[in-house]
Amino acid sequence: MSAPNKNYDPVAVSSLSPGEVSRMLDEALAAVAQAGSLEELRAARIAHAGDRSPLALARAEIGALPPEARAEAGRRVSAAQTQLKDALSRRQAELEADRDQRVLVTEAVDVTLPGDRTPPGALHPVTLLADRLSDVFVAMGYEVAEGPEVEAEWYNFDALNIPPDHPAREMQDTLFVAPSSGPGSAGGPGLPSQGSSGLVLRTHTSPVQIRSMLTRPLPLYVVSPGRCYRNEALDATHLPVFYQIEGLAVDEGLTMADLRGAIQAFVDAMFGAGLRTRLRPDYFPFTEPSGDVSMECHVCRGASTDPGADPCRVCRSQGWIEIAGCGMVNPRVLVACGIDPDRYSGFAFGLGIERALMVGHDLTDIRETVDGDVRFSRAFGMEI
Amino acid sequence: MRVPLSWLRAYAELPDPVDAAEVARRLTAAGLEVESAEPAGHDIRGVVIGQVLSIEELTGFKKPIRYCRVAVSPAQLGGDPGDASGVICGAANFAVGDRVPLALPGAVLPGAFEIGARRAYGRMSEGMICSASELAIGDDHTGILVLDPDAPLGEDFVTYARLRDEVLEIAVTPDRGYAVSVRGVARELASAFGVPFTDPARAALPGPEVLGGPLDDEGPDVWPARIEDPTACDRFVLREVRGFDPAARTPLWMRVRLARCGVRSVSLAVDVTNYLMLELGQPLHPFDRSKLHGEIVVRRARPGERLETLDHVRRDLDPADILITDASGPISMAGTMGGLSTEIDERSTDLVIEAAHFSPEGTAKMSRRHKLHSEASYRFERGADRELPLPASAKAVALLSRLGGGRIIPGCTHAQAPVEPVRVSMAADYPDRVAGVVYGRDTVVRRLRDVGCEVREGMAATAPTIAPWRADRAAGAAAPGTAEHGRHDRLIPVLEVTPPSWRSDLTDPADLAEEVIRLEGYENIPARMPRALAGHGLTARQRLRRTVGRALGGAGFVEVHTDPFASPKDSGALSLPPEDLRRPAVRVANPLSEDEPLMRTTLLPGLFRVLLRNIGRGFGDLALFETGLVFRPRPGAPSVAPILPVNRGPSVQELAALEAALPDQPLHVAAVLAGACELPGWWGPGRAASWPDAVEAAREIGRACHLSLEVRADKEPPWHPGRCAALYVLAPSPGAGANGGARAGGEAGGAGGEAGGASGEQAHEWLAGHAGELHPRVIAAYGLPARTCALELDLQVLFTAAEAAGPVRAPQLSSYPVATQDVALVVPSGVAAASVQDALEAGAGDLLEDVRLFDVYTGEQLGEDRKSLAYTLRFRAPDRTLTVAETTAARDAAVAEAARRVGAELRGG
């Protein structure tokens, strides 16, 4: 640390002479120019632009100059330092570019090498489709209702206006639960038929409608996806254990026009707007009137029915695809649930999820859904 | 039901010609689904009616062969037989002079079978004499079809026999019993085309000159009968024909119609009853009078009674079976199948024809009980027309007498039980309100009359939606409300409707509304787009279920669906102890497979089977999962679920009784891992899935639910007793997780059920499930790959805990620097890493941000049965940079707590 220099000693500050500054600069610039690597440049930077570099030391001596000389010397040193800094930056950029040329090229890899260390996971397409179908109705304001798969006969049949010994019970081949102990029911009023437990594996998700009507406040708009069971042989188009999704609306003033609207909105949401739907009479004990719904084939849009047209695999050249059964809730079902049929009416619809998968995703053998082959689920991934 | 259009046309005045596709479309639109409409008889050409002039028996062949001369024109009849066609024929059931269908050279028979002139048996055969089967009007191919003598010689056979037709195949829904008949379909067809309908049950009925009196005239000479049980049968009619020719042939027109409906021709008597059943829908049964003994009685079976039915099966009868009996005992299962002892045969000349109306439920039960489904039971259980037995039996005896030459005994035996007539009162605008379409009263009335209803228009104060005898209106909730609104002040237009006798399905206004709406056309109902509702979206549990699936899918697990059935062998294969909760199972009474009669109590065996299937297909590196219900019988549950009434809503107690009989059905998730979880590749070797992957997957499921699962060693089958983790979760008590059938933490024998209340409430630990490596015995029992790992968790327990935990609270993040300290602790090797970590966390205090085990070391330097656990402790304060002294103090406190709890020593300390 030097105090202000009162003794003007020109020798002591010879380092600030124009010649000396210029020499220092030249030396520094030469070192910068000669630096052949980023490391050498770093050394040159320390040597010529660092705190202990000649130029820095020379700047420290400025205070020793007579006041009238300080400004000029300062300018001289600053100009030299600026010039050096520019040279350093330029050389730094040159050397970095050079390094990028050489080094990063040698570090190049084959990015097409696989990285599939972990086999991919997937959800089952029936799960995905059940969720998607539910979401369509949830977006319309419905709620998702669920119920047990081992179900009381009363929920599965009687409350749905399917009396014992009615041929409608035979429409659905039922898997019955054996009585847990003893001989089962003695038969008689208020009891299931003799030897039976009064329990079944639910043959449809409709018992969830009954449960919803018994437990939820009115008005009521629910969908119930779930697993159902029938005593049927497994083949390419039939599963004994399968999934359904049903919708139920109970409100004041609901009509078949509302039913048609709900179904049209659903088809629009699933397949895009512009496909017509068609309602034809059918029979279900729990709806009256009942119908089945077809939609215009989303693949050929009916074109395959024209004479000479290419056949359509999806609608089998019918132009229409049957998608759901539906109807107005039979007032008797409302009564069995303690709902006043003079005030409320309702509609219901139901469709098979595997069947929807066949229609929408080219599934030709329904057995794939229960086979468990990882290739099947993986093909659908995490979203449908 | 198969029915030819020509038969329908006899009663519905259809336009001629009519497009069969249009017929199919309109019937389907009206609710009778036409599955197919196929032409019949159009594929026959060149068959004419000929007359056999001469027969030359050819000998020297393996079977009798005839060479016949057949005339096909009146000119040939009188001319030289040698001018007529010479035809080789293998049948021998015809004689000279018989008229027969002759396929001339160039003719085409069904199946595009072309007939040419050919040499056979040494002669030139110029055509073929046809059997019924060759003309597709029956399956009789044993002999040729001999025609009536008045069949016009030389005429085209197809025209003569009216073979050209369209046959409709109609799928009739179970509510429309009336439509299982030409009568019912023709009625619908007439409505659909708006053309007149002739009711075959009322038209062309035999008059008194044939029956000896009016239709219901009782005849003292007809076999006597009575109804003993009026709940089984409410009308029973017998008529008699005596002196009938049992050899009489069924006329060609009847044979053609039967064949078109798919019914085999048997004998004239049987054919006539079948024909009328098809036409009218009334099953008829002929008894051989000579085989009857004493009065016929319709009654239920008595204990021990047996009957051999027409199909030669001896059946043990049930006391609920409806029988037709005589003095000898049962002679017929009513409306289902006749008995062998009174069957008509080729010598029966005196016939007693039965036409009755049996209870639909009774016949349904009986045919199901005996697995005996006949054309008759099919019709009775769908509800036959109670007004048909008199006219149908009259038509039967008239036809039998006309075609078979018998004498009709005047009058009939007519037993009946009184039946309450059905009347439905309906608000005139009810169909409008159901459809959302204004039809107007006139249309409604007209459509109901089309269906056959009698309609009386009137005014009334109310018109309930449910027929009064169906619903217990006194118990109804809203009846007083409607009265208060003063509906009595205003009268509304009401229709008093009496449904026709053939429509037992029309009992409620809703049934009548459907009739109006379907006849007016479902296609004319507009679509009213839904308005937005105030739904609440998915529930927390529904969202969590999806999140768990996505988390597992994201972690590389593939979801599968397995059939939820189990084998009784599974309990043993899983090494479950006798008292295990997974042993008792719900049993299916009629299982799909005898090997798997149980409902699953655990998801694992199903996953094992799918795992093996995939391995069999060459996929060995597997991580599979399934979510689904398992079924656990409730101890002490009632063995029978009651059947509640349906004429009112159930009470809370009644519903509770139903629920009590159901098994527990908690939602589980399970996964299995085998082979590599990281595949080998150019990057190096792979990594086999092992127990920590299973435990981590379980933790991942917990994280998906925002739950931190507590892991403890356990010895639960089917896991390896040294590699089994029990996973616990905190949930508010009591009973929050109880409906899932979970066990409380304390019962599992794990260390310490003590747990602090996270949300301030008293919290209990619940066992959520297990994870780890499977027991080698289980692996061997299922043939799984060695070291297969698995997990199974009760999602109901997790979801309950997640819901109780409330919303996630945002953390307060500190941006002050982290201070890191590593410690290596030596503990006895039996000490669980989790308990060491718990101690460190408890001791370190609030400054501890994270603790992570980075090394486990065992070696000689440590001594036997000791291990070293190395942890990185990360400290951070919310409000300042920590000093070295502070972090060291916190670390020391952590170590001290570990020393106190588990005897940990600082390694090298």
Residue B328: how many other CB atoms lie within 10 Å: 13
In a domain, B271, yes or no: yes
What is the phi-psi region of residue A266: left when phi exceeds 0, alpha when psi lies from -120 to 50, beta otherwise? alpha
The answer for B 676-735 residues in CB contact with A (under 8 A) is 677-679, 681-683, 686
Taking every pair of C-alpha atoms in chain A, what is the biggest distance, in angstroms? 130
Tens digits of residue pLDDT in A370-379:
999 999 999 9
What domain range is B699 assigned to?
Answer: 690-805
The mean pLDDT of A123-152, rounded to a whole number, is: 96
Q: Of A16, A3, A12, whose CA–CA distance to A71 is shortest? A: A16
In a domain, B475, yes or no: yes
Same domain, B146 and B249: no
Same domain, B451 and B410: no
Same domain, B665 and B705: no
The answer, yes or no, to whether residue B700 has pLDDT greater than 70, is yes
**A343 and B478: CB-CB below 8 Å?**
yes
Same domain, B323 and B410: yes
> 3-class SS at B797?
helix
**B697–chain A nearest CA distance, Å:** 13
Same domain, B278 and B183: no
The answer, yes or no, to whether residue B760 has pLDDT greater than 60, is no
Report yes or no: B625 and B670 within 8 Å, Cβ to Cβ: yes
User: Does residue A269 sit at the B interface (CB-CB below 8 Å)?
Assistant: no
Same domain, B319 and B218: yes
| Percent residues over pLDDT 70 in chain A | 94
User: Does residue B292 sit at the A interface (CB-CB below 8 Å)?
Assistant: no
> For chain B, give me the number of helices (H) and strands (E)?
24, 41
Residue A102: how many other CB atoms lie within 10 Å: 10
* Residue among B513, B564, B643 whose CB faces A191 most closely: B643
- Work out the mean pLDDT of chain A and round it to a whole number: 89
Among B483-497, B514-528, B719-733, the range of highest mean pLDDT: B514-528
* Residue among B538, B550, B661 whose CB faces A144 most closely: B538
Please report the pLDDT score of residue B614 as a whole number: 97
| β-strands B296-300, B225-227 pairing | parallel
pLDDT, greater one: B453 or B534? B453
CB-CB neighbors (< 8 A) of A168 in chain B: 174-175
- The domain boundary residue, chosen from B364, B388, B416: B416
Determine the residue of chain B that is closest to A256 in CA distance: B435
The answer, yes or no, to whether residue A171 has pLDDT greater than 90, is no
**A288 and B560: CB-CB below 8 Å?**
no
**A165 and B650: CB-CB below 8 Å?**
no
In a domain, B531, yes or no: no
Q: What does the block give as tokens for B431?
A: 């169909």
How crowded is the C-beta side of B35, counted as CA atoms within 13 Å? 8
- The domain boundary residue, chosen from B398, B416, B434: B416
Q: In angstroms, rounded to a whole number, what is the distance separating the alpha carbons of residues B301 and B323?
A: 6
The answer, yes or no, to whether residue B748 has pLDDT greater than 80, is no
The mean pLDDT of A243-265, rounded to a whole number, is: 95
SS3 percent helix, strand, coil of chain B, rounded to 5, is 30, 30, 45
Report yes or no: A304 and A319 within 8 Å, Cβ to Cβ: yes
User: Does residue A325 sit at the B interface (CB-CB below 8 Å)?
Assistant: no
Same domain, B559 and B634: yes
Cβ within 8 Å of residue B855, ≥6 positions away: B824, B868, B869, B870
- End-to-end distance of chain A based on CA atoms, in angstroms? 77
User: Does residue A4 sit at the B interface (CB-CB below 8 Å)?
Assistant: no
**B662–chain A nearest CA distance, Å:** 7
**B682 and A114: CB-CB below 8 Å?**
yes
Please report the pLDDT score of residue B374 as a whole number: 93
Q: How large is the ipTM?
A: 0.87
Q: In angstroms, rounded to a whole number, what is the distance separating the alpha carbons of residues B359 and B386?
A: 10
**A179 and B639: CB-CB below 8 Å?**
yes
Query: Is the pTM higher than 0.90?
Result: no
Same domain, B217 and B366: yes
pLDDT class of B749 with cuts at 50, 70, 90: very low
pLDDT class of A18 with cuts at 50, 70, 90: confident
DSSP state, B177?
Answer: G
**A281 and B518: CB-CB below 8 Å?**
yes
Please count the residue pairs, one from chain A and one from chain B, whose beta carbons lie less than 8 angstroms apart. 350
* Residue among A148, A264, A290 whose CB faces B662 most closely: A148
CA distances from A284 to A161, A162, B174 (A): 9, 9, 9
Same domain, B22 and B50: no
Tens digits of residue pLDDT in B86-126:
999 988 889 999 999 999 999 999 888 898 888 888 888 98
pLDDT class of B733 with cuts at 50, 70, 90: low
Report yes or no: B666 and B741 within 8 Å, Cβ to Cβ: yes
In a domain, B685, yes or no: no
Please report the pLDDT score of residue A3 as a whole number: 53
Which CATH number belongs to the domain containing residue B841 in this structure?
3.30.70.380
User: Does residue A379 sit at the B interface (CB-CB below 8 Å)?
Assistant: no
The total of structural domains in chain B comes to 7
Please report the pLDDT score of residue B762 as a whole number: 63
Same domain, B235 and B354: yes
Please report the pLDDT score of residue B831 as a whole number: 92
Q: What does the block give as tokens for A238?
A: 């039939």
CB-CB neighbors (< 8 A) of B188 in chain A: none
Please report the pLDDT score of residue B395 as a whole number: 97
**Residue A295 belongs to what H/E stretch?**
strand A287-296
CA B700 from centre of chain: 40
pLDDT class of B741 with cuts at 50, 70, 90: very low
User: Does residue B547 sit at the A interface (CB-CB below 8 Å)?
Assistant: no
- The domain boundary residue, chosen from B522, B548, B573: B522
pLDDT class of A113 with cuts at 50, 70, 90: very high
Report yes or no: B113 and B43 within 8 Å, Cβ to Cβ: no
Q: Could you tell me the CATH superfamily of domain A125-380?
A: Bira Bifunctional Protein; Domain 2 (3.30.930.10)
Q: In angstroms, rounded to a whole number, what is the distance separating the alpha carbons of residues B268 and B289?
A: 16
Residue labelled with tokens 């670390």: B891
Q: What are phi and psi of A209, to 5 degrees?
A: -60, -45
CB-CB neighbors (< 8 A) of A335 in chain B: 466, 470-471, 476, 646-649
Tens digits of residue pLDDT in B28-74:
999 999 999 999 999 999 999 999 998 998 888 888 899 999 999 88
CB-CB neighbors (< 8 A) of B639 in chain A: 179-182, 184, 197
The answer, yes or no, to whether residue B7 has pLDDT greater than 60, is yes
In a domain, B676, yes or no: no
**A282 and B518: CB-CB below 8 Å?**
no
* Residue among A177, A184, A372 whose CB faces B613 most closely: A372
pLDDT class of A139 with cuts at 50, 70, 90: very high
The answer for A 223-242 residues in CB contact with B (under 8 A) is 227, 231, 240-241
**Residue B100 belongs to what H/E stretch?**
strand B99-109
pLDDT class of B732 with cuts at 50, 70, 90: low
Q: In angstroms, rounded to a whole number, what is the distance separating the alpha carbons of residues B18 and B195?
A: 13
The answer, yes or no, to whether residue B750 has pLDDT greater than 50, is no
In a domain, B682, yes or no: no
User: Does residue B590 sit at the A interface (CB-CB below 8 Å)?
Assistant: yes
The answer for B 626-685 residues in CB contact with A (under 8 A) is 628-629, 631, 633, 637, 639-650, 655, 658, 661-663, 665, 677-679, 681-683
| Percent residues over pLDDT 70 in chain B | 94
**A225–chain B nearest CA distance, Å:** 12
pLDDT class of B325 with cuts at 50, 70, 90: very high
The answer, yes or no, to whether residue B752 has pLDDT greater than 70, is no
pLDDT class of A187 with cuts at 50, 70, 90: confident
User: Does residue A261 sit at the B interface (CB-CB below 8 Å)?
Assistant: yes
Candidates B646, B651, B655: best to mutate against A (most CBs of A within 10 A) is B646
Among A61-75, B69-83, B137-151, B328-342, the range of highest mean pLDDT: B328-342
Same domain, B471 and B544: no
Q: In angstroms, rounded to a whole number, what is the distance separating the alpha carbons of residues A367 and B285?
A: 46
**A331 and B465: CB-CB below 8 Å?**
yes
Same domain, B616 and B695: no
In a domain, B282, yes or no: yes
